[in-house]
Amino acid sequence: MIYSDIVFLKKVIELTRSSEKKFQQGDYKAAIDDKRNARRILNSESVDIKIIEKYKDELSNLYNSKYDVINDHKMRISELKKIEIVELLEKKSYEKYNQGDYKASIKALRRSEKYLST
């Protein structure tokens, strides 16, 4: 990885952890804003697949749980179905954000990330 990749990855992980902390504290608006900023970085043209894979690894560490229904469901569905679910949850998140329901928005986005994690 080159230096700029490391900087992007570090910033995305920092925003993701910050979002998770704010979510746990009940500050849903700040949590969703951090998460959306991380997504903007990941969707930029300068981010390559290595950064996205490392980000997915970080999500796995963040959302690792012994009892995880989503993880069980992920093992039984195809990659295409996972992509459909992620897109649906992201759409729901943005709709809820635009309606001002930040709690529902961050929950949908966090759920979509659980499907993305490795």
Tell me the domain boundaries of the chain: 3-116
Q: What are the percentages of helix, strand and coil residues in the chain, rounded to 5?
A: 80, 0, 20
The pTM for the full model equals 0.77
Q: What is the pLDDT of residues 35-51, one digit of tens each?
A: 999 888 888 777 777 77
pLDDT at 54: 80
pLDDT at 3: 58
Amino acid at 85: I
CA separation, residue 19 to residues 7, 47, 60, 79 (Å): 18, 20, 15, 27
Q: What is the pLDDT of residues 57-111, one digit of tens each?
A: 777 777 666 666 666 677 788 889 988 998 999 999 999 999 999 999 999 998 8
